[in-house]
Amino acid sequence: MLASERRVYIMKNLYQKGIINIKDIARELNISEITVRRDFEKMELEGKLKRVQGGAALEEALENAELTMQNRLSVHVPKKRLVSEAAADLVQDGDHVFVDAGTTMAPLLDILLLKPVKIVTYNSLIVRNMPNPVAEMFVVGGKYLPHYSMFVGASAQDMLKQFRFNIAFLGCSGVDVEEGVVYTTEMESLLMKKIALERAEKQYLLLDDSKLEKHGFLKFTDLSGFTGIICNRIDNKPYIEKVMWV
């Protein structure tokens, strides 16, 4: 592959992900990590990217990722809190709990940290506010996606496969109620979700009503694959099996 073709591939990945990893690019293009580093160095001199530890990023990705996450954290807060409180009531002392990535899970993490349970997550929001947590926390590590505040990739998947859960709480980007399909937006988080579903005794889908009848980019699973679904109460509720309106 020509250098110009490699750099087109690198830029395409940067625009898709914001931050990319040297090892991933080397593996995907079947080239040495030294070659990738040299490409990054040249592209940084050209002002196309900024090198970071182990990879490269778009300047705007570094500047905007935290702001974007803060904006998402401020949306539908009362609804997310209602859903999280109902979910936390399902957790027993001593449970091993999986918590998905996403801002819907932020208030749930805040509640669960005060319970005598073990929490496993790839959601970096768990480390926002930890004054004196009662819970034991396990954050699986891997490639960091700042736009989503989560760790993903092969190492994160391998680590997640080592756990079993009494209960798993998962989020989504949308639900097609008529078709019974649950969507997500990011391929690597989809793989993490599927592992958690398989490793849990009980699985709950958490969402607020803004996700209803909202199609997404990737099919994650079917609604029938969950033990239950928790959503805030609304007028003109659609019929969904196993749903808990709160």
Radius of gyration of the chain, Cα coordinates, nearest whole angstrom: 19
Question: What does DSSP assign to residue 210?
Answer: G
d(Cα 26, Cα 98) in Å, to the nearest integer?
Answer: 32
Closest CA to 99 of 131, 75, 125, 132: 125
Residues 107 and 9 in one domain: no
Q: CA 235, CA 214: separation in Å to the nearest integer? A: 17
**Closest by Cα among 98, 96, 203 to 140:** 98
Structure tokens at 8: 């087109």
Residue 62: what pLDDT? 53
| Dist. CA 185–CA 15, nearest whole Å | 15
Cβ burial, residue 225 (10 Å; 0-12/13-18/19+): middle
Q: Which residues of the chain have pLDDT under 70?
A: 53, 59-73, 128-131, 216-217
In a domain, 24, yes or no: yes
Look over the chain and give the mean of its residue pLDDT values, rounded to a whole number: 88
Query: φ, ψ for residue 102 (rounded to 5)?
Result: 110, 155
pLDDT of residue 57: 80
Same domain, 18 and 93: no
80 and 32 belong to one structural domain: no
117, 94 in Cβ contact below 8 A?
yes
Same domain membership, residue 46 and residue 106: no
CA 126, 127, 129, 133 dihedral sign is positive
Residue 202 lies in a domain: yes
Domain stop point among 12, 30, 57: 57
The predicted pLDDT at position 67 comes to 46
220 close to 196: Cβ distance less than 8 angstroms = no
pTM exceeds cut of 0.75: no
How many angstroms separate the CA atoms of 230 and 242, rounded? 9
Q: How many domains does the chain have?
A: 2
pLDDT of residue 143: 86
Q: Which residues of 173-188 are buried (b: 16+ CB within 10 A; e: fewer)?
A: bbbbeeeebbbbebeb
* Residue 63 counted as domain residue: no
Q: Which domain holds residue 121?
A: 75-245
| 32 and 81 both lie in a single domain | no
